[in-house]
Each structure stands twice: as structure tokens, then as C-alpha cells.
Amino acid sequence: MYCRNCGKEVHPQAVACPGCGVSPRLEKKFCQNCGNATQPNQSLCTKCGAALGSAYAGAKNKLAAGLLAIILGSLGIHKFYLGYNKEGLIMLLVTLLTCGFGAMIISIVGLIEGVIYLTKSDEEFSQIYVEGRKGWF
Ligand SMILES: [Zn+2]
Ligand SMILES: [Zn+2]
């Protein structure tokens, strides 16, 4: 991907751009897909057509996923919410197949995950769980 602040090519997992030092996803000056200059209010790159994600999309997902994990963790709802259908199904099945016994363990897992989600910064959250597709913790 390209740094959205300076347009330099950066590693997709990079937390800070080696060129300008800020988070590559923080600004909206360049397309993350092709490095083309973009306007802050643009939703699609005019050069390559890539969706230019908003920094605030992650914040909304983080709060919702964190709360779902804490409240409904034993049903794996937060996993489905984040698109981790396999992990969500595992949590749901453990809860159902153990007649609620496993729900205690699973809800603790959900609670821990919810707290981890909420303690991450918005950027970290979207990098790790939305773009990074990290299924557990
Ligand atoms: Zn940069
Ligand atoms: Zn582009």
C-alpha cells in the first residue's frame, strides 16, 4: 500500500510510515492503492478506482465490536459483525453444544476480546482486525 500522508510505498502492516513518520492511514492526501493524490472528501480514487476508506469507519466498528464482544460474547456475535464467520460459528457452537457450560468460557474470551478491541486505537483496530483479518484476540 501507499502512505496516505506522503504517497510513499509502505508495508501493509506498517504502523508508521518510514517516509513521514505518521500512520500511513491517518491522512487522506494519497490513494493507499496506487499512491495517486486524492482529495480528503473523495470516496473513490480517480486513477485506480479503489475505495478510499475513512479513518472514522474503524472507530465505529471498534466500539460496536467491543460492546458486542462484552455483552454477547458467548454467542460470537462480534465475530460475525467483523466478518469472522468461522470463529463466530465456533463460539456459537461451543455455547450451544455444551448446553451453556462452555458459554462461561466463551463469554470470558469475548470479554477479553472486547476489552482488547476497546483499548486499541482506532487505527490499530482497523489495521489488525478489519484489514489484518486477525481472527482471535
Ligand atoms: Zn508517509
Ligand atoms: Zn488509486
pLDDT tens, N- to C-terminus, the chain (137 residues): 999 999 999 998 888 999 999 888 888 899 999 999 998 888 889 999 888 865 445 555 888 999 999 999 999 999 999 889 999 999 999 999 998 788 999 999 999 999 999 999 887 888 888 777 777 76
State the distance from the centre of ligand 1 to the C-alpha of 83, rounded, in angstroms. 29
Residues with CB under 5 A from ligand 1 (ion): 3, 5-6, 8, 17, 19-20
State the distance from the centre of ligand 1 to the C-alpha of 34, rounded, in angstroms. 14
- Is residue 99 classed exposed, middle or buried when 0-12, 13-18 and 19+ CB atoms within 10 A define those classes? exposed
What is the value of pTM for the model shown?
0.57
- DSSP classification of residue 73: G
Q: For position 119, what pLDDT does the model report?
A: 94
Q: For position 56, what pLDDT does the model report?
A: 47
Residues with CB under 5 A from ligand 2 (ion): 31, 33-34, 36, 45, 47-48, 50
C-alpha–C-alpha distance, residues 38 and 130, integer Å: 22
